[in-house]
Amino acid sequence: MRAYKLKLQFLNRRYTRYEMRLLTLLAEKPFILASGEIEVMGLLKDGLIENAHTFETQSIVMSEGGQEVYRDVFVQSFAARLTPKGRALIETWKSQSDDLLGAL
């Protein structure tokens, strides 16, 4: 049942091609340089990868009438690594297929 549900996630395009490529590389390497939080938001929110080290950030500050109304910092690049949950997903998927990208 787990394998079936996992396959459905990929078939329904839960993750982007970029995210799938990242998972494929993380299946072989402990860390990968990821291009930002927005590009891998699905993997981060699902707890499959984590930010091991931030390399570059960008901040935004919005003001109205001299008053700061909004401030945020966005991660532009970071070292991604699999979480235990992500490693379990990779192992389950590899038991079903040798080609993670073949799911797309």
58: burial class by Cβ within 10 Å (0-12, 13-18, 19+)? Answer: exposed
User: Of 22, 23, 44, 16, whose CA–CA distance to 34 is shortest?
Assistant: 22
Query: Lowest-confidence range among 46-50, 75-79, 84-88, 100-104?
Result: 100-104
pLDDT at site 6 = 61
Asked whether the beta carbons of 32 and 22 are under 8 A apart, the reply is yes
Q: What tens digit of pLDDT does each residue of 44-71 get?
A: 999 999 999 999 999 999 999 999 999 9
Which bin fits 13, alpha (ψ -120 to 50), beta or left (φ > 0)? left
Please give the C-alpha separations between residue 50 and each of 12, 22, 26, 62, in angstroms, as whole numbers.
23, 12, 11, 29
